[in-house]
Amino acid sequence: MDEQALWEDILRRAMTAEASDLHAAADQRVQMRRDGVLYAEEMVPSAAFMRALAVQMLSEAQRAELAAHRDVDFSWRYEGRRFRGNIYGVRDVPALALRLLPARIRSVEEIGMPAALRTLCTAREGLALVCGATGSGKTTTIAALLQAVNQTRAAHIVTLEDPIEYIFEPARAFVSQRALGRDFISFPAAVRSALREDPDIVLIGEIRDRETMEAALSAASTGVLVLGTLHTRSAEQTAMRVESMFPADVRDAVRAQFADVVTGIFAQRLVPGKDGGRVAVIEALCATPAVRNMIRQGHYGQLGSVMMSGAAQGMQTSAMAEAALRAAGLIL
């Protein structure tokens, strides 16, 4: 088979196996990630094929961005399945990281969403952060949450994404999905704009910098529910990260504002399931008066103890969540 046929065969097998990621670069074997493990394919793409693949996958505007910045994020569809991709330069040749998105949005029951996180389906205001390393399932969790809202509430959901991953078919909700570069220029400006669009829920696909966090905190204080993601691994680390985005001379005020608007911090990771696949382990910190006071004072090291003693409020540490999944026979 020629390179195009080999590549399409790999794509089809990845979809059949529900692989999470594909990696391709010139002069090395394509790699497929399944259940968190990379497996090498036989195909070794040429530089010419990788350049042609970039042209095939990207729009004219995206190709211009790749030329200007040497990498570009994009979404892509093949045989009815959606992918999220990043093309980047390796020795002046395009390389590809491609993530296969699930064929459908999973339900909150299917992903084992803890009760504390499910309460966001009815929340009307505040800031909730879903955190975890790259590839930990944050987007899948938020999609399940928003789909539950979509099916049960008459609400205006505004999503700000880079790129758009899951497509929501409006049910009870009115859904406005906006993509960076196509529908808005920057996350901070888009958050401010969203507040003029009569939203009930605003999703910020990724809070990457101080300006976006400022906009998120401000929006959450106006009576809107703001959902955001951070690349942090625990509730404690997340609270520290929010503060560290700002200069030292304003951190007292930032802690106070964050304490006032936060509704919950949820940090997740994926572990192998007992029957294959991967299962989300979700740490849950709820904004009780004690938690708000600790955040206001910067006593982040005490948050773990509060979660351990806060099961009645729906809180759990990562270790508690993992133990519960093991007791239920879902993980080894």
Segment 289-317 mean pLDDT: 97
**How far, in Å, CA of 283 to CA of 299, rounded?**
18
Residue 106 lies in a domain: no
Gap between the terminal Cα atoms of the chain: 41
Residue 183 lies in a domain: yes
What pLDDT was estimated at residue 103? 87
What pLDDT was estimated at residue 150? 98
Q: Which helix (H) or strand (E) holds 225?
A: strand 225-230
- Asked whether the whole model's pTM tops 0.85, one would answer yes
Query: For the segment 179-211, what is each residue's pLDDT rounded down to a tens digit?
Result: 998 999 999 999 999 999 999 999 999 999 999
Query: For the segment 204-250, what is each residue's pLDDT rounded down to a tens digit?
Result: 999 999 999 999 999 999 999 999 999 999 999 999 999 999 999 99
* Total number of domains in the chain: 2
Indicate if 322 and 247 belong to the same structural domain.
Answer: yes
**How far, in Å, CA of 72 to CA of 148, rounded?**
31
What tokens appear for 40 in the block?
A: 């090498």
Which residue, 100, 125, 146, sits at the end of a domain? 100
Indicate if 81 and 132 belong to the same structural domain.
Answer: no
Q: Which residues contact 250 (CB under 8 A, 6 or more apart)?
A: none
Residue 108 lies in a domain: no
Q: Which residues contact 206 (CB under 8 A, 6 or more apart)?
A: 162, 187, 228, 229, 230, 231
Residue 39: give the domain boundaries: 3-100
Indicate if 166 and 197 belong to the same structural domain.
Answer: yes
pLDDT band at 126 (very low <50, low <70, confident <90, very high): very high
pLDDT band at 64 (very low <50, low <70, confident <90, very high): very high
Indicate if 93 and 236 belong to the same structural domain.
Answer: no
Indicate if 162 and 206 belong to the same structural domain.
Answer: yes
Segment 153-169 mean pLDDT: 95
